[in-house]
Amino acid sequence: MSTVFHDVSLFLLYAVLAVFAQNAIFTRSLGVSRMIALVEEPSLNSVLFGGLLVAVQLLAAPFGWAYATYLAPLIPASTLIRAAVRPLAYILCSFLAMGIVWLVLEHGIRSPRCSELKMLLPLATLNCCVLGTLLISGSQHYTLAQSLGFGLGSAVGYLFAVLLVTEAQRRLRTDAIPPMFRGLPITLIYTGILALAIYSVTGHMLNV
Amino acid sequence: MNKKNRVPAPDAGARYYSDVILCCIPVLIMSVFFYGLRPLFLSFAAVVTGNLIDRLMAFLRDRRYDPHEHSSECFALVLALMMPASVPYYAVVVAVLACDLLGKEVFGGVGCYPFHPVAVGYAIACANWPDLMFRFPQPMTRLPLYDLSQVPLIDGADMALRNGGLPSVSSLDLLLGNFTGPMGSTCVLVILACGLLLALRKDLDLVSSCSFLAACAVFVWLFPRLGGVSFGLPWQNLGVRLTMLRYELVANSVIFSAVFLLSEPVTRPKTRQSRIIYGVCLGVLTMLLKYHGSRETGVAFALIIMNALSSWLDRAVMLLTARKEARRLENR
Amino acid sequence: MKIDKARYIAENFDDVCAKDRVFLNNPVIFHSLGIAPLVVMDTSGRNALMLFAAVLLLLPIVRVVPMLLMEHFGEKARPMLVCGVAALAYIPVYFILYFIFQKNLLSLGIYLPMLVCEPLVIQRFEHTLDAGISQTVRKSIGFTLGYGLVLFVLGLVREFLALGQLFGVQVTKLLFFPLASTPMGGFILLGLLAAVWQYGLIRYKKYVNMEAKRTV
């Protein structure tokens, strides 16, 4: 019972840390290009994207943990093979997660938004946030509870960052902004200033 | 008349910045009393930098420089007063450059910035030079104007609180500002008097400032950082709670921020209810960052986060109010 | 500039920009691609060189090979095909990079394997692959050079501001902006670089239009 309680508290702690102190966008800049596309493209629904990202992260986390715990040690660390096949292994974990979500969308859910969700699914799966989270969990040797928490927190933190920057677009699309700063420059500066605020929590460069 | 040559008349918004500059003068006089002429020179360097940036931006953007608009100078002076008296001149200049250029001009200038420029400049200075920004000279030390290598620097009163102890400062010294801290934010009596003047001039937003201070006070009361007191009931260990309240609110920039930062008309929310929520959330976030953040001070960073949410707060409150009103009309 | 050339550029400015993937249609500045490694890892000339080498080796393979295999897999499988090819191509690329840079490669952390999912390398899935092989190769070379330019400019600027060094050589002991080596500084400096770049484009467009209106 105490083990379950310990794991649940670890899960929650890592989830909260990943949302704020180790935010995917503001601290590690994972998936910034995709975030800018989401913010600038009104046809892409950020909330649906975020929901899919949460689902994929939660499903990919145990696969990634299983690879890092059981399969990766079989490859000798002294050879370069373990480092070279890391992205392939984690991409396959993402594929498995995507497959499960796709099956649920295909057969489990009857919703008018299913086709939109299926269109967003590859974008939500094959992006730097998912791969980066799996790589970090693997390199830091997280337990299953920590991996799940970190995966959930990363996805929620990513969505939080997207919504924050989208909220800012009302002020970042005015004609008052000098022409040379309109678009990407002002979005990056805005994100950088928000990242400064998150710095106050961690205060140092995180291990990558 | 040519638009470029026309100088706009001063309005209420512009008056806010002039009033804040006037109220910073007594605070600056106190810092000169504690540290010698160095704070005056640092503030002068900051204000001159702010003014030059204003003129440069007017030239680059093909506009006439507006001599009635003092926002850059106001932000520069407030920023300088939040820094230690021992900070090098280049740090003040870079911080003011960041404050006015990155915090204000890139977003379109006066009235267009989403973040409080002082918070941006201060946050950049803290991130750039943490050792310079969080070590202070002893008050009543006549600091040399240039070479500070012989001046001993010590941690602020906040650090003692962080380590679970109490700063050894008497109540009178606490009120008069005779303890280590930023050069302008320690003399609480003078700051409160300036706050009263700003309130009389209708430049101080009492709603957000009072809700901010109240939230900080309640947080400190419920969770004082001393031993295991925070796990007790709120009416237990009253003496300890009162002591912590005194130190936490006074021995850092909380009151200074409530008077000089929160009432900035561009970045704060517009509606009354959203200003209350803004003040409360800012207070809680400030104390959380002070307790658990990487640095002793959290106001500037909390202000950046809350500024990002202030327009959303306004919209959310207006939407809820409109829905409530619609339901009320339906029920009639 | 010759009047004929100026008139041609002024009349076909968008097409001219689209073809120039180094300056006028830079993948970072105008398409927001490859930002993650730039902001976090591009903090020195050496890191810029390693990232450039990685992109130079990966990008052409990942753009061309899926195009050739697409007819066997179909459009729906494109995202998996592209990422799969990228992950497989990464294996020999990693060995080549390690042979050149040795243990210095470890300083790139997770941002080197993350190139496998980086939109700069795998291209956005929203865009269809309707270009021919030669155009794809030209595009990928252009993108690589454009990305490399931003990598080196930003990396050297950040190294100079944060450490007073250029390619590891101490140039000055003054540290102008230590924040430049952090992700926050990376966001801000990349934003300022993008602004300067956009300013250059605006001025170039004005210059071309002025030259085109010249009668002599």
At C33-42, the pLDDT tens digits run: 999 999 999 9
What are B136's strand-pairing partners? B154
CB proximity C193 to B under 8 Å:
no
Task: Give the closest-approach CA distance of A112 to chain C in angstroms.
Answer: 20
* Chain C residues within 8 A of A182 when measuring between CB atoms: 198
What are C169's strand-pairing partners? C166
3-class DSSP state for residue B137? strand
Q: Range of A110's domain?
A: 2-202
* Residue given tokens 């327009």 in the structure block: B311
pLDDT higher than threshold 80 for residue B139: yes
Q: What is the DSSP string of B229-273?
A: GGGS-TTSSHHHHHHHHHHHHHSSSHHHHHHHTTT-TTTS-SSHH
Q: What is the CA radius of gyration of chain C?
A: 19
pLDDT digits (tens, 9 = 90+) for B88-123: 999 999 999 999 999 999 999 888 899 999 999 999
Domain boundaries, chain C: 3-213
The answer to whether position A208 is within a domain reads: no
pLDDT at C124: 61
Instruction: Out of A41, A128, A139, name the one closest to residue C118 (CB).
Output: A128
The answer to whether position A13 is within a domain reads: yes
The DSSP output letter for C169 is E
ipTM confidence: 0.90
Global pTM value: 0.92
| Residue % of chain C over a pLDDT of 90 | 48
Domains of chain B: 12-331 (1.10.3430)
Minimal-distance CA residue of chain C relative to A39: C32
Are A188 and C111 inside 8 Å of each other by CB? no
Token pair in block for residue A173: 């699309």
* Chain C residues within 8 A of B128 when measuring between CB atoms: 177-179
Are C34 and A33 inside 8 Å of each other by CB? yes
Beta strand B135-137 pairing with B153-155: antiparallel
Instruction: Out of A85, A186, A208, name the one closest to residue C111 (CB).
Output: A208
pLDDT at B5: 43
Task: Give the closest-approach CA distance of B92 to chain C in angstroms.
Answer: 12
Which subunits have 3 or more CB–CB pairs within 8 Å of chain C? A, B
* Chain A residues within 8 A of B114 when measuring between CB atoms: 168, 171-172, 190
pLDDT at B10: 45
Average pLDDT over residues B173-193: 89
The answer to whether position A195 is within a domain reads: yes
The answer to whether position A99 is within a domain reads: yes
**DSSP H or E segment with residue A52:** helix A46-66
The DSSP output letter for B185 is S
- Which of A196-200, B73-77, B262-266, C15-19 has the highest mean predicted lDDT (pLDDT)? B73-77
* Chain B residues within 8 A of A203 when measuring between CB atoms: 130, 293-295
Task: Give the closest-approach CA distance of B59 to chain C in angstroms.
Answer: 16
3-class DSSP state for residue C171? coil
Chain C interface mutation, best of A23, A27, A32, A205, highest count of C Cβ atoms under 10 Å? A32
Are A190 and B124 inside 8 Å of each other by CB? no
The answer to whether position A207 is within a domain reads: no
Task: Give the closest-approach CA distance of A192 to chain C in angstroms.
Answer: 5
What are B155's strand-pairing partners? B135
What are B137's strand-pairing partners? B153
pLDDT at B6: 42
The domain tally of chain A equals 1
pLDDT digits (tens, 9 = 90+) for A56-70: 999 999 999 999 999
To 5 degrees, how large is the angle CA B139–CA B142–CA B143?
95
Where does residue C109 rank: exposed (0-12), middle (13-18), buried (19+ CB within 10 A)? Answer: buried
Of C24, C16, C30, whose CA–CA distance to C120 is shortest?
C30
Where does residue C16 rank: exposed (0-12), middle (13-18), buried (19+ CB within 10 A)? Answer: middle
